[in-house]
Amino acid sequence: MTKTVIPLHQVTIRFAGDSGDGMQLTGDRFTMDTASLGNDISTLPNFPAEIRAPQGTLPGVSSFQLHFADHHIQTPGDAPDVLVAMNPAALKANIKELQRGAMIIVDSDEFTTRNLAKVGYETNPLEDGSLDSFKLHPVALTSITVAALSELNVTRKDAERSKNMFALGLLTWMYHRPTESTEKFLAAKFGKKPDVLAANLAAFKAGWNYGETTEDFAVSYEIAPAKMPPGTYRNMSGNVAMAYGLIAGSKRSNLKLFLGSYPITPASDILHELSKHKKFGVITFQAEDEIAAVGSALGASYGGALGVTTTSGPGLALKTEMIGLAVMLELPLIIIDVQRGGPSTGLPTKTEQADLLQAMFGRNGESPAVVIAPSTATDCFAIALDAVRIATTYRVPVFILSDGYIANGTEPWKIPNVDDLPDLRVEFAKTQENFMPYERDPKTLARPWAIPGTKGMEHRIGGVEKADKTGEISYDPTNHDLMVRLRAAKVAGIEVPNLIVDDPNNDAKVLVLGWGSTFGPIAAAIEALRENGQKVAQAHLRYINPFPKNLGAVLAKYDRVIVPEMNLGQLAMLLKSEFLKDITGYNKVRGLPFSTSELMEVIMAVLND
């Protein structure tokens, strides 16, 4: 049968089902196949905190959304154009986010009386007309998959578990994605289990063939590759990009990379990724708790390595005393906080930006540290490299504030030329007479980094205040005041790039200033508003302590400054206190990133005020 092929510029697809239905794997495979065709991509995995919530219930719904296009995009999309729902819970959890006319593909086999009752459906939405405003495609995914695998040596339960591959095959056909890479992936993943491999391959091919032959899908779609700068690309998540940036920083600084970490969502993938790279001299230590993790990292720095620790908000709270010790010892330490919803355990698998004030002030005494934040998944590579530069040059703790949205999301990353990466080589202190461990570099105020065991360079460590230059224990009030001010001046004087403002005609009156993962939604909203003739400027802070030196002048230039944050106004508070500038905050803590449309409304309200 000849079917119509419709060209599209972009589409947003969401796969949704039980946390055991393989939605993350399905979405990830579709993303990889799409990346191989050269589309620009942005993804948003969303999964429950429970390891296995009751089957078929709303708390157990897991989803994976991807937005791909033939042009540059900034976000994973506001609302899905296509929802693949594997059961009634997945439909009910996501239906409110769909716009009229969206396509819904459901596994009709799962819409039983029992499953409908679990989520509060009194009637079957596939039959009661409530979905008439959508393009509904009920497909007996389970029974068709079981039938397709009937001649294979698999149980019915295992056959049913392969239905996610059927759905993947159907969507692969519908959007003209390649099949070869998924087949190779399955062969690699299940090569030692021939029966499971055969089942998944058969289900995948059955889904593709169903799309090709059924009359229910008379149309398929094609999206051309995006025009990207020349180079070699790969799809990259924020956590993997962070790991690669640390490895690159280690090699460019000639320091061994040591990661001391305690597993915590959503930061654990950095530990997992770095543990694969022993060939680059990477040492990973899964500690018994958060305190041991940061203590081991600080000990590695004392020994002349690049000490790094990873965590999320609750773990950061436990690390604070040891980070204070790093401030006192004036040793390099990188602390990566992949923020999640809080307080306490909070929302372990959801995103938030509410740890900023904790990173700034969450230690006893005057204990300044550097705070920087990546803006996108691939920016994690660059921000990790610069964290290495700052920590090793100035001998300070550096916080990198990522978040769950950045960490788990993916986008194309242009692989850089190694020769273009900065030279970060470090000079350790050399043997000398009358070694002064706290004598400072006049430019950076950094003290010497002396490797323990070096003859003639023995010096005290510990958390008690040190005397200026000699490093002896000191309780002298004047000395304490001096050392506190020196540590603060060192952080304040760190060289960071000036803030770049995107104001095409230099005539906007309103500035939208963001930090962290708000970059994508803000940029998409600004782009849409400018297409409608609105004049609005955008700037994004990657360096929060210290602020860029031109930030005050930038803020003073604009009549109104809007700061969207996934917290209750933490950056706005810092800006107001530092620059006495009136800030218009837009704040939500829903565990989800901002949508483009809501930011457009917020900005328009200020423009029309």
Q: Which token pair is 606?
A: 């200020």
Residue 311 lies in a domain: yes
161 and 191 housed in the same domain: yes
**CB contact at 8 A, 125 and 131:** yes
What is the Cα 545 distance to its own chain's centre? 21
- Give pLDDT, residue 1: 65
What is the predicted pLDDT for the residue at 432? 83
Identify the burial level of 340 via C-beta atoms within 10 angstroms of its C-beta, where 0-12 means exposed, 13-18 middle and 19 or more buried.
buried
pLDDT at site 132: 97
Residue 370 lies in a domain: yes
Indicate if 246 and 195 belong to the same structural domain.
no
Which CATH number does the domain housing residue 543 bear?
A: 3.40.50.920
SS (H, E, C) 73-112: CCCCCCCCCEEEECCHHHHHHHHHHCCCCCEEEEEHHHCC
- For residue 592, give both structure tokens: 């989800």
- Of 429, 564, 554, the closest CA to residue 499 belongs to 554
Q: Distances in Å between the alpha carbon of 88 and those of 49, 107, 112, 113, 138?
A: 20, 9, 9, 10, 12
Sign of the CA dihedral running 477, 479, 485, 487: negative
Are residues 62 and 177 located together in one domain of the fold? yes
In a domain, 16, yes or no: yes
Asked if 143 and 193 sit in the same domain, the reply is: yes
Sign for the CA dihedral angle at 97, 101, 103, 109 comes to positive
Which amino acid belongs to residue 589? V
Among 246, 273, 263, which residue's Cα sits nearest to residue 380? 246
Same domain, 212 and 242: no
pLDDT value of residue 460: 86
Beta partners for 501?
539
Cα angle 207-64-374, degrees, rounded to a multiple of 5: 140
**Which two structure tokens, joined as six digits, stand for 166?**
């059927």
Specify whether the CB–CB gap between 33 and 177 falls below 8 A.
Answer: yes
Same domain, 68 and 88: yes
What's the rounded Cα separation, in Å, for the pair 450 and 330?
Answer: 11
Residues 140 and 270 in one domain: no
**Together in a domain, 154 and 96:** yes
Domain check: are 588 and 531 in the same one?
Answer: yes
CATH code for position 95: 3.40.920.10
Q: How far apart are CA 525 and CA 534, in angstroms?
A: 11
Residue 445 domain flag? no
**Which runs of consecutive H residues, i.e. helices, occur in 409-535?**
477-492, 519-531
Cα dihedral 173, 177, 181, 186 sign: negative
186 shares its domain with 246:
no
Q: What is the DSSP string of 429-466?
A: PPP-TT--TB---TTT-PPP-PPTT-TT-----SSS-B
Is position 426 within any domain? Answer: no
266 burial (CB, 10 Å; 0-12 / 13-18 / 19+) is: buried
On whether residue 516 sits in a domain, the answer given is yes
CATH number at residue 321: 3.40.50.970
Same-domain check for residues 521 and 563: yes
Give phi and psi for 45, each to the nearest 5. -70, 145
Q: Among the three residues 202, 223, 244, which one is the final residue of a domain in this structure?
A: 223
Helix, coil or strand: residue 10: strand
The mean pLDDT values, 10 residues at a time, for the chain of 609 residues are: 91 95 96 95 94 88 97 97 98 97 98 97 97 98 96 92 97 96 95 93 97 94 95 96 98 98 98 98 98 98 98 98 98 98 96 98 97 98 98 98 98 96 95 92 97 89 95 97 98 98 97 98 98 98 98 98 98 98 97 97 97
Whether 449 maps to a domain, the answer reads no
Q: What is the pLDDT of residue 62?
A: 96
Give a yes or no: residue 368 inside a domain.
yes
Residue where a domain terminates, one of 393, 420, 447: 420
Helices (H), 95-237: 113-118, 141-148, 156-161, 163-174, 180-190, 194-213
Q: Which domain holds residue 375?
A: 234-420
Using alpha carbons, select from 134, 187, 138 the residue that is nearest to residue 165. 187
| Beta carbons of 603 and 530 less than 8 angstroms apart | no
Query: Token pair for residue 580?
Result: 């006495």
Domain boundary (184, 200, 223) is at: 223
Q: How many domains does the chain have?
A: 3
Q: Based on the fold, state whether residues 281 and 371 are members of the same structural domain.
A: yes
What does pTM read for this prediction? 0.96
Per-residue b/e over 163-192, b at no fewer than 16 CB within 10 Å?
bbbbbbbbbbbbbebebeebeebbeeebee
